[in-house]
Amino acid sequence: MSTAVTLRNGVETNNAMAKRRKLEDTFSNKSKKPVEKGHKANGERDSIKDKCGLKKNQFGDLSNGFMSNGDWRKRWDKGQTKFHKPTYNDILLSYYDAMVNGKTKCRVFVPLCGKSVDMKWLLDKGHSVVGCELVELGVQQFFREQDIEYIVETIPSLTNGKLYKGVKHDIRIYTCDFFELNSTTTEGKFDCVWDRGSLAAINPSDRSRYHDVILDLLDENGRYLLDVFEVDHTNFAGPPNSFVKEDLHNLFAERCNVEDLKTRDAMNPWAKSWGVEYFIECVYMISFK
């Protein structure tokens, strides 16, 4: 049976969090070494293992944690997309009402969407869904697997940018680098943003740029539902890249209210195989002040 502990924010959690706190305490007294590329901050501990900065990543390779656009394309080409889940995300289902905030026909943005089935769920709820995904193969798989007829347009303002548009369904997915998007390209701002495995997948050095794009896309009354992880990087190279509460609050604090919605132990057999001691899911609702 797990023992309940209380975190600084007062959220009741279990053993995994206690483990993480213990590991943090152990490492907090160590002298700080220079941080490696791709893991610049955010409560990282020094690796106790490798000499050359490489650790195993979720794909089973040695990595410094940095993912280039080419690296993501390679993973899709090889079918290494275990991050994709075939079922609707329970966090989205639980906090959907809070995200739409009483509105019925919302413009919902799904950054770094992959082929997330959540987009179909949101579509079926009657919303106008807009995604962004770097890898065209993933977008093609989404439309094929969801059996949605589409047309493709090129977007000259984006590098190799295309727009996949549902013919009978109100869904559009930009195939481009997320960092090139702005609210002019997307033809307006969004009432809601659903972010699962997106900010978590971004290289830590790009977090501030990611924040800028998201806040440009979010309507002044919009709600940003965010799902990230606190993950042990002792022997594991992201993504997902650990995001501790303080860093998340600091990133958005200047312009936004950040509400802690949920913290839960998300350890599962796959995460266990990465050799991590803890894998904690943290859910936030972000809105403009």
Ligand X SMILES: C[S@@+](CC[C@H](N)C(=O)[O-])C[C@H]1O[C@@H](n2cnc3c(N)ncnc32)[C@H](O)[C@@H]1O
The residue at minimum Cβ distance from ligand X is 114
Which element (helix H / strand E) includes 269?
A: helix 269-273
CB 198 within 8 A of CB 118: no
Tell me whether residue 17 or residue 226 sits nearer to ligand X (CB atom).
Answer: 226
Query: Could you give the angle at the alpha carbon of 159 between the alpha carbons of 157 and 164, nearest 5°?
Result: 80
Closest CB 5 distance from ligand X, rounded Å: 29
Tell me whether residue 17 or residue 193 sits nearer to ligand X (CB atom).
Answer: 193
Q: Residue 212: phi, psi to the nearest 5?
A: -65, -45
Q: Which residues would be at the binding site for ligand X (CB under 6 A)?
A: 69, 72, 83-84, 112-114, 116, 132-135, 138, 177-179, 196-198, 201, 239
Closest CB 72 distance from ligand X, rounded Å: 4
Distances 110 to 95, 225, 284 between C-alpha atoms, Å: 15, 10, 15
Tell me whether residue 150 or residue 178 sits nearer to ligand X (CB atom).
Answer: 178
Closest CB 266 distance from ligand X, rounded Å: 13
Tell me whether residue 20 or residue 75 sits nearer to ligand X (CB atom).
Answer: 75
Closest CB 111 distance from ligand X, rounded Å: 7
Tell me whether residue 57 or residue 263 sits nearer to ligand X (CB atom).
Answer: 57
Closest CB 219 distance from ligand X, rounded Å: 21
CA 157: distance to chain centroid?
Answer: 25
What's the sign of the alpha-carbon dihedral 122, 128, 133, 137?
positive
d(CA 123, CA 16): 36
Q: Is the peptide bond before 239 cis (omega within 30 degrees of 0)?
A: yes
Tell me whether residue 114 or residue 222 sits nearer to ligand X (CB atom).
Answer: 114
Closest CB 176 distance from ligand X, rounded Å: 7
Tell me whether residue 111 or residue 222 sits nearer to ligand X (CB atom).
Answer: 111
Task: Mention every residue, 6+ apart, whose C-beta is less than 8 A from residue 125.
Answer: 96
Identity of the residue numbered 257: N
Closest CB 281 distance from ligand X, rounded Å: 13
